[in-house]
Amino acid sequence: MAKPLLRSLVPGELGPLVTELGGEAYRARQLAGWLHEHDALAWDELRNIPRPLRDALAGRYDLQGLAPLERQVSTDGTRKFLFSLRDGQTVESVIIPMENHATFCLSTQVGCAMACRFCATARGGLVRNLEAGEILEQITHLRRDLAADPVPGHGERQFNAVFMGMGEPLDNWAALPAALHTMLAEDGLAMSKRRVQVSTSGPGDGLRRLLALAPGVGLTLSLGGTTDEERRKLMPVPGRTPLAEVIDLGARYARQSGRRTTIAWVLIAGQTDQAEQARRLAKLAGSGPFKVNLIPLNALDDDAQEPPTPSTVLAFQDILTRAGIDNTIRLSGGRDIAAACGQLRRRRLTG
């Protein structure tokens, strides 16, 4: 059995731990610095922590839970990583270089139980949840990668983090709150709430838990349908929550966080690209504090689903724009390296 990861502890838990192991109280701050500022992955890196305390910590915890297995760089600069976990499972993370900052795309589960028809991660079902430390350590590796190989022009700018990798974040309630807490905590990663976006397929129980937690980060809601029937067809598990309820929860969350909720709409030829769907989507989005991201499908290689033609995408967008809905077309980066939606892991699994 692997030990727990030290990074799974929130910064506030380090103090009692250090004291229990016989260290001075101020060592907790140094430890948090090594974990979340200096991106340490080996006990030897913790130079100012006395050897006996290091050994005591190492007796109970692991410092590294992810080993880089693959790194691919797309022609558009997107960097895709495949990590192996201590139990041999794999997860993906992505660095997406934006104009003046990097966006980290993080995974929360190995596989996913939501069964969305257009998503590669869904294909194998849920394998397991990631621990908080496994979620946070993706950031550690991505930051180390950027430090070793900076994106030209980005300077020291903070990164953004989006939970748009593998898994359904709101279906991993065992780890998401701690991961978010450490990301935002002053003695953790000290990220601004504005730089964090939770993306969800919108299971109702998960959305209600997020509302109760009130983390203040941004929310993206993948809708998949403009009626309950449409939504259930493409997103069978989250589709069990009535659309009206999902929209209401998304609007309530936006009012709570003070930021509009983004509705993510994946455009699939013949299925989610119809003019009447655009009109219904405009109505839903116009009913509250929402904006819309249109995402032409990133086609999976084993599937009949295809993205619409560019002119159909633009016609769909035009209906939203004319209805006064703030919207953006999001083209997936890194298509040449299978950077979207669990495709790298899947290619390895299917050989």
Residues that bind ligand SAH in the complex, under the rule CB under 6 A: 118-119, 163-164, 168, 199-201, 222, 264, 266, 295, 297-298, 300, 332, 340-341
CB atoms within 10 A of CB 152: 7
* Shortest CB 89 distance to ligand SAH, Å: 17
Question: Which residue in the list 13, 70, 92, 134 is annotated as catalytic?
Answer: 92
Residue closest to 333 by CA, chosen among 302, 295, 293, 307: 295
Residue whose CB is less far from ligand SAH, 23 or 333: 333
Start-to-end CA distance of the chain, whole Å, equals: 28
Q: Does residue 341 carry a catalytic annotation?
A: yes
Q: Does residue 186 carry a catalytic annotation?
A: no
**Distance in angstroms (rounded) separating the CA atoms of residues 137 and 328:** 31
Residue whose CB is less far from ligand SAH, 182 or 197: 197
Residue whose CB is less far from ligand SAH, 31 or 179: 179
Burial of 200 (0-12, 13-18, 19+ CB in 10 A): buried
What amino acid occupies position 11?
P
Residue whose CB is less far from ligand SAH, 129 or 199: 199
Residue whose CB is less far from ligand SAH, 55 or 301: 301
* Shortest CB 337 distance to ligand SAH, Å: 15
Q: Are 52 and 22 in contact (CB under 8 A)?
A: yes
* Shortest CB 350 distance to ligand SAH, Å: 16
47-51: long-range pairs with CB below 8 Å, 24+: 49/23, 50/23
**Distance in angstroms (rounded) separating the CA atoms of residues 349 and 34:** 34
The tokens of 10 are what?
């929130």
The tokens of 173 are what?
């309630």
Residue whose CB is less far from ligand SAH, 129 or 201: 201
The tokens of 189 are what?
């990663």
**Distance in angstroms (rounded) separating the CA atoms of residues 188 and 98:** 24
**Distance in angstroms (rounded) separating the CA atoms of residues 164 and 265:** 14
**Distance in angstroms (rounded) separating the CA atoms of residues 328 and 46:** 44
Question: Which residue in the list 105, 112, 116, 341 is annotated as catalytic?
Answer: 341
* Shortest CB 248 distance to ligand SAH, Å: 18
* Shortest CB 257 distance to ligand SAH, Å: 17
The tokens of 86 are what?
């201590």
Residue 217 makes CB contacts below 8 A (sequence gap 6+) with: 180, 184, 193, 196, 197, 198, 257
* Shortest CB 13 distance to ligand SAH, Å: 27
Q: Are 48 and 30 in contact (CB under 8 A)?
A: yes
Which residues belong to the active site? Answer: 92, 341
